[in-house]
Structure 1
Amino acid sequence: MTDFAARRRMMVDTQIRPSDVTKFPIIDAMLTVAREQFVPDAQREAAYAGDLMDLGEGRCLLEPRTLAKILDALNISKDEMVLDVAPALGYSTAVTARMAQLVVAVEEDEQLAEEAQTLLMDAGADNAVVHTGPLAEGAAEHGPYDVIMVQGGVEEVPQALLDQLKDHGRIACVFMEGDLGTVRIGHKAAGRVTWRYAFNAGAPVLPGFTGARAFAL
């Protein structure tokens, strides 16, 4: 019988704390949420590995370290609404729900969205709701949001998502240029988003988040 609780503690002690993430709400959430419940059954044994988990079809589960550092940079508070784009089975949503007032997750696969909602309810995340629709369109009817997170790589951020961010809100994305990726935090003021470098990380580019390609004849 695998001792997932021990693996969870080891993940926090060897991956999260050494990455200079020390805020209590983040450490507490990552010690509490059972990551193994939010991955495909065949990948449960690898739930606490420090690597990006490939979910197929260009989708992934970010490394625990990357998610923790994103949450650290966003500094979410208990009175804030968060939009979590592409969380797959909902791990990032469950973690964030322990810090925020409400988390709206967006998944475009109906079966995946239903499964995520069930898992979130089972985990006691009753302040999280899963919206089914195109990832790049977000969930405008529940917004605007104080914070937006994208759980995958982007080349460009769709304007529809930026429009759903409140003024003085924050957005975190993994920007990919070829194989190189950087996490940047965007701050919105007077309708404009200004991006700042946070740290290096990579992830497959999500469908709907590719940049315009320049074709040469």
Structure 2
Amino acid sequence: MEVTAERARFNMIQQQIRPWDVLDDRVLSVMAEIRREAFVPDAYQGLAYADIEIPIGTGSCMLAPKVVGRMLQALDVKSGERVLQIGAGTGYVSACLDRLGGRVTAVEIDADLAEEARVRLAGLELESIEVRTGDALSEPVEGEPFDVIVATGSMPTEAALPLLQGQLAPGGRLFCILGIEPVMEALLVTRVGERDFRREGLFETSTLALQNAAEANAFEF
């Protein structure tokens, strides 16, 4: 089984992630090392390395591997940086951020999913990652400012952006996915001054919204 998983990880890197312009050796090494199957629900074990989003319950999902790769590459996490992850899920992205050197605080609104992430991470001896239960879109997270903030679900509107941007340290980077079906945009927001932020559109995608994310007005164009 392990040989099969190793081959599946290799294929994921070569056939999904590299062709999507993820060329950062650190990111590729981390994603080749971490056992993604350790974070996938039992019912989806056979799809752990497929080019799809995987349901994890509570209206949440694991992002497709190529999206995770592009996200990690854009954030360029450096050793010792403080990282806030919004939407811990089962802990896979948390593990990637940790292996890249980040000091990770992951906030998950669903208490059962937060506990599942803790158990899965502990099983891989990644207990330095702090998983908290809470709503990171309603108020600042204790421990700010952060060098990196990553939202692992989409946000239909920009309503939460001021809150998230305000928690960035100077030079800090925020990754988020904005918009509604059928097309959303992945953005990298960098704090370049006290009140100044640079926005860069990275790619188009589509994924489930974070719980408690402000909904878009259907009549806005």
**Equivalent residues, number:** 216
1:140-190 deviation digits (Å, cap 9, x = unpaired): 212211011111111234143222221221100111233111111011221
1:36-78 deviation digits (Å, cap 9, x = unpaired): 1111111111111001223344311111000100111111111
Who is 1:104 aligned against? 105
Give the TM-score, by structure 2 length. Answer: 0.89
Query: What is the identity percentage for the equivalent residue pairs of Structure 1 and Structure 2?
Result: 31
1:178 maps to 2:181? yes
CA-atom RMSD in angstroms: 2.0
Who is 2:71 aligned against? 70
In 2, Cα distance between equivalents of 1:57 and 1:127: 25
1:213 maps to 2:217? yes
In 2, Cα distance between equivalents of 1:145 and 1:82: 6
Aligned pairs (5 A) from 1:18-37: 18-37=19-38
Who is 2:172 aligned against? 169
Who is 1:116 aligned against? 117
SS of the residue aligned with 1:84? strand
In 2, Cα distance between equivalents of 1:215 and 1:202: 20
1:106-133 deviation digits (Å, cap 9, x = unpaired): 1112221122112112223233110111
Closer/same/farther in 2, CA of residues 123 and 137 from structure 1, 3 Å limit: farther
Shift of 1:139: 6.1
In 2, Cα distance between equivalents of 1:124 and 1:199: 33
Equivalent AA in structure 1 for residue 48 of structure 2: A
In 1, Cα distance between equivalents of 2:213 and 2:45: 28
**Does the 8 Å CA contact 2:26/2:100 hold for their aligned counterparts?**
yes
Shift of 1:215: 6.5
Shift of 1:5: 1.6
**Does the 8 Å CA contact 2:177/2:186 hold for their aligned counterparts?**
yes
Q: Give 1:193's match in structure 2, choosing from 184, 194, 197.
A: 197
Shift of 1:138: 6.7
In 1, Cα distance between equivalents of 2:24 and 2:179: 27
**Does the 8 Å CA contact 1:135/1:208 hold for their aligned counterparts?**
no
Closer/same/farther in 2, CA of residues 197 and 57 from structure 1, 3 Å limit: same
Shift of 1:23: 1.4
Who is 2:134 aligned against? 133
Equivalent AA in structure 2 for residue 208 of structure 1: N
1:46 maps to 2:47? yes
**Does the 8 Å CA contact 2:77/2:102 hold for their aligned counterparts?**
no
In 2, Cα distance between equivalents of 1:26 and 1:138: 31
| Gaps in structure 2 of 5+ consecutive residues | none
SS of the residue aligned with 1:87? coil
SS of the residue aligned with 1:72? helix
Equivalent AA in structure 1 for residue 83 of structure 2: V
Who is 1:15 aligned against? 16
**Does the 8 Å CA contact 1:25/1:98 hold for their aligned counterparts?**
no
Closer/same/farther in 2, CA of residues 164 and 8 from structure 1, 3 Å limit: same
